[in-house]
A and B are shown apart, each in its own frame.
Chain A
Amino acid sequence: MFMPVATQASLKGLTPKQLEDTSCRLCLNNTYHLGLKPGQKTLDAIGGAHRLQSWPHNILTDSGGFQMVSLLKLSRVTEDGVRFLSPHDGSPMLLTPEHSISLQNSIGSDIIMQLDDVIATTSPDHERIKEAMYRSVRWLDRCIAAHEKPESQNLFCIIQGGLDLELRKECCAEMVARDTHGIAIGGLSGGEAKDAFCKVVGTCTQLLPERKPRYVMGVGYPEDILVCVALGADMFDCVWPTRTARFGNAVTVDGVFNLRHANYAYDFRPVEEGCKCTCCRPQEEGGLGITRAYIHHVAAKETAGAHLLSMHNVHYLLELMRKAREAIVEERYPAFLKEYFLKLYAGDKEKYPQWAVDALKGVGIDLLSV
């Protein structure tokens, strides 16, 4: 399953109705942003994020820690929580696991995430990675204790441990023992090598209980997602499809195209041929029948251009996941993967990324075989 990211309770100009039309039933809001705007008091007064954005479906929120650590220059993680200087007056502040959960309780998201000690997998400081892993486990205990609405909101733990597979295994054991509703694999997609990334995902999924959802955080490139699915992961989120739409990029089965390119000025085909999204579907079938030439014409000049491409891109990823689920149910996922890569690389197997070939070989799928 893929979850589009509606950072501040809206997905890049799409109305919730339009988001629903892309078949999205679970989207992600960022705790950090909602905590700043509109803030906890307002959320309490309104009755949570579902009411704020009139979204009748599911919402997942992150803990806010990731943004905190990444966006604020002078943040420092201590046992209490994340210390940082107020961006306005420089006074010291502290975000604790308890704060994060309390805020997510106010948001009322269906899935909430523990506050974890986020550290880049590329960090050379092994001791620090180890410390972060153990601290994340301790913080999970504090999050579970602070969680006021376990009956209505599902808490997910976040497996840490960098690229060290032993640390990851230990973290899995500790966290699985704490029996949260679902399990996330965190700290990835931060620029590590793809094969190392796959090893971490594969190692964790083998140790996780069958019947709980597994969420690989921040992964949104179609290839990465499909390989992770083969490795046993269930949920993904990424801002990429909507972010890339802003730059005029269309995500399609044949790869990513920048419609701002002059080539498309007179290309009157739909953004993606055969696509059933509102943007691409012909007018005879109740769609808009938007052409590449039109997107070229409005891209970066009118906000509606980005909205149209966002609709298509989000629909593309949700549809890709639907097809993947269908293939799994029909027990033909390996064939589905082969077909996908063949199309994406226009039949040129030489171009297949080695990491994907290797990772899939590890689970018994030979991408290169016919």
Chain B
Amino acid sequence: MGSTDAVAAVQVANLPSEMFSIIKTSGTIGPRLGCLRLAGRQVLETPHFLAITSRGVVPHITQDSFAGATGISGVPPDGSSPLRRFIALPEPTLLVLGARRTPPVFAPSANPNTNTSVSICTSVGFRPMKAADYAEGVERLQPDIVVGLGDIPYGRALGAKRIEKATDRNIEWLQSHVKARNDAKAPKGSRSKLFASLPPVSCANQQYYIDTLTQDVAKDVDGLAVYDMVSLEDLPEQLRHLPKLAFTEPSTPHEILRQISLGIDVLTIPFLTAATDAGIALDFTFPANSSEQEAQPKILGVDMWLEDHATSLQPLVDGCKCYACTNHHRAYVQHLLNAKEMLAWVLLQIHNHHTLDLFFAGIRQTLRNGSFEDNVERFAKVYETLLPEKTGQGPRVRGYQYKSEGPGEPKKNAAPFQTFDDKKEKLAESTPPSAEAGAAELEELGFAEKQT
């Protein structure tokens, strides 16, 4: 972006194409290869994905591992995360700030959104957050992209009345936010890009809001945040050039491909951390590996809990170049999962993000050479439709999964084992022998011999 006010006026007209340019597209509604350029950040080619953070960290991964061992290009932190420096996010990484978690939390009906506020889940329960406070706060925090606050109902069927209400609120909130930004007169180049939230209904169903977007604030909105693919079906021509950021919770790589083929540019992928927590190392490539002709569809991930891995010195996924696969093997990850050591999830998270990174690189490559559609078809044939079922236990419930449902809710984590005498720190640190270890098993382990 330009850095002087003198050229700012000229740039306004070209703003979307400058920040976001479409390199190649195959039709009005269709997949597209694009490029997102933000001051100071690494250029992000799209389609791409954002890693999801909680409290400013990608779950399980400390910031140094993040920079060193993953290829993560952008992250939308949860609503509670402030400055880039505060969360120690590497400089080249794109930072997106929004009010809603991905995946979202279902708000009890006792905590509805109002005309001036949304209900957000905080560490002390549901609290209202004023739209005006949000607009002011995010502008101060200066992420690269701000997702405008939307009244985005979640988890309930939407009646015409509720949609009308949401439409009115979204118009009001967006216009106020835009006005506040324009009044602030911050140099355009240094300012966050504003993405407007599209409620999860068709455009026809929220016509007044769409009119606002195409007319009143057309030059003030830099992109769209999409919560349901239905909004793209009748997206008017005037909004198609905008970069589209999806908070649509795709549950499989097939679904990612489908959303990209409908014109999504950047996605958030909750199944990534879900797979990590389930002990699953994702294992798929795009295009699907062509050398193999298999009778059975290939699995999308390897369940690291399986006993078979106990002595396997293979990487999590053969040929993978990630930190976890080049330094460690399945036996270690299986051991760590079994022993409930946090490092298990650290290594899986690194691997899974790497897998997705390559998956998106493959998507962009095929868009570039025109083989995307063919390869989507092939991918569907080669791979199973669903991720493997989770067999083992996940980590203890932490911030990123924690959803307060108010008083009286059941305990999220069973109380840890109580030692007989926990005076000594060392003992408290130890895990007792697992309940499943029988005498015969202990003997087989070579741990001790059974007495007769």
Contacts and interface: CB of A to CB of B under 8 A. Distances in A.
Interface stretch (A87-95, A123-131, A166-174, A329-337): A87-95
Nearest to B421: A70
B131 interface: no
A64 B447 CA distance: 9
Contacts of A36: 433-434, 437, 442, 445, 447
A99 B451 CA distance: 14
B358 to A, nearest CB: 21
Interface string A290-307: 110110011001111111
Given A51-B313, A302-B55, A288 B63 contact: yes
Given A33-B430, A87-B433, A243-B429, A93 B449 contact: yes
Given A8-B339, A37-B335, A40-B447, A86 B437 contact: yes
A30 interface: yes
Interface in A55-100: 64, 66-67, 70-73, 81, 83-84, 86-89, 91-96, 99
Contacts of A279: 62
Given A70-B424, A303-B395, A294 B437 contact: no
Given A52-B332, A95-B447, A71 B432 contact: yes
A46 interface: yes
Interface stretch (B81-89, B140-148, B201-209, B293-301): B81-89
Contacts of A283: 85, 88, 91
B338 interface: yes
A72 B446 CA distance: 18
Contact of B335 (A30, A52, A92, A190): A52
A106 interface: yes
A308 B342 CA distance: 13
B59 A288 contact: no
A12 B56 CA distance: 20
Given A94-B451, A294-B86, A33 B339 contact: yes
A86 B61 contact: no
B429 A88 contact: no
A178 to B, nearest CB: 25
Contact of A30 (B86, B331, B402, B430): B430
Given A8-B341, A294-B87, A71 B335 contact: no
A12 B323 contact: no
B442 A93 contact: yes
A72 B436 CA distance: 15
Nearest to B449: A94
Q: How many B residues touch the partner, as a band?
A: 35 or more
A73 to B, nearest CB: 5
Interface residues of A, number: 84
B429 A7 contact: yes
A15 B347 contact: yes
A41 B57 contact: no
Nearest to A301: B399
Contact of A54 (B56, B311, B327): B327
Nearest to B54: A302
A278 B88 contact: no
B428 interface: yes
Given A18-B64, A51-B313, A298 B55 contact: yes
A335 B426 CA distance: 32
A311 interface: yes
B346 interface: yes
A42 B446 CA distance: 11
A37 B429 CA distance: 16
Contacts, number: 240
Contacts of A289: 85, 88
A64 B445 CA distance: 14
B310 interface: yes
A71 B433 contact: yes
A147 to B, nearest CB: 16
B391 interface: no
A17 interface: yes
Given A54-B327, A54-B328, A99 B437 contact: no
Given A40-B447, A239-B429, A86 B439 contact: yes
Contacts of B65: 15, 18
A307 B55 CA distance: 14
Given A88-B437, A301-B123, A303-B342, A41 B445 contact: yes
B21 to A, nearest CB: 30
Nearest to A307: B62
Nearest to A293: B86
B173 interface: no
A37 B447 contact: no
A103 interface: yes
Contacts of A2: none
B444 A88 contact: no
Contact of B447 (A13, A99, A189): A99
B359 interface: no
B313 A13 contact: no
A92 B429 CA distance: 25
B343 interface: yes
A303 B60 contact: yes
Contacts of A91: 438-439, 450-451
B423 interface: yes
A45 interface: yes
Contacts of B9: none
Given A88-B436, A89-B439, A83 B431 contact: no
A35 B442 CA distance: 8
Contacts of A33: 339, 430-431
Given A93-B442, A95-B447, 19 more contacts: A7-B429, A10-B342, A13-B346, A14-B343, A15-B347, A35-B446, A36-B442, A38-B334, A42-B331, A71-B420, A73-B420, A86-B438, A88-B438, A88-B439, A93-B447, A288-B63, A302-B399, A306-B342, A307-B346
Interface of A: 5, 7-18, 21, 30, 32-33, 35-42, 45-46, 51-54, 64, 66-67, 70-73, 81, 83-84, 86-89, 91-96, 99, 102-103, 106, 189-191, 218, 238-240, 243, 268, 278-279, 283, 288-291, 293-294, 297-298, 301-308, 311
20 contacts: A7-B431, A8-B336, A9-B336, A13-B341, A15-B65, A15-B327, A30-B430, A33-B430, A35-B447, A52-B335, A64-B447, A71-B427, A95-B448, A190-B424, A283-B88, A297-B80, A298-B56, A301-B55, A302-B54, A304-B57
Top-4 shortest CB links A-B: A40-B446, A13-B342, A301-B399, A86-B439
